Amino acid sequence: MKRILDPCCGSRMFWFDKNNPDVEFCDKRELHTTLCDGRSLDIKPDTFADFTDLPFSDNTFWHVVFDPPHILKIGENSWMAQKYGKLSDNWEDVIRQGFSECLRVLKPNGTLIFKWNEQDIPVSKIISVIGYTPLYGHKSGKLQKTHWMAFIKDA
């Protein structure tokens, strides 16, 4: 079994090694298209799964990186929706369930990295929705709206 899970990998944008053999890349969609700027977009997960209902046993992975869709106000078929996914109207339940699933499959003392962009929803709201306070975090991006937050699962 692999040690790392990316439950909503999309096109694996932040991975240096997009084919790392130690990572289980999951997504509920597969896509090959050309974006409006001519770049190719490929979403090809190892495992087809919705991050709210992962097909793995409890306590399977040492590390989970959770980068769910973060955009609410976007067209269903826009290039942004294709690239990043789109939040549904019941996004609070979806994010809460996704975070819970990530913790469920994480081994005790394992780490969960949660990436969130505040384009539509502030991090303070997300922390309230998931019900956990991160150990630490880091802002990144041109506008400092992308947050990387670290959590550890209790033993």
Span 54-72, pLDDT tens digits:
999 999 999 999 999 998 8
Confidence label for 33 from pLDDT (cuts 50, 70 and 90): confident
Kindly tell me the sign of the dihedral angle through the C-alpha atoms of 21, 24, 25, 28. Answer: positive
Q: Which two tokens stand for residue 17?
A: 């090694």
In angstroms, the CA 140 to CA 155 distance is 30
pLDDT computed for residue 34 by the predictor: 77
At residue 42 the predicted structure's pLDDT band, cuts being 50, 70 and 90, is confident
The whole-angstrom distance between residue 46's C-alpha and the CA centroid of its chain comes to: 15
- With the C-alpha atoms ordered 73, 52, 97, 23, is the resulting torsion angle positive or negative? negative
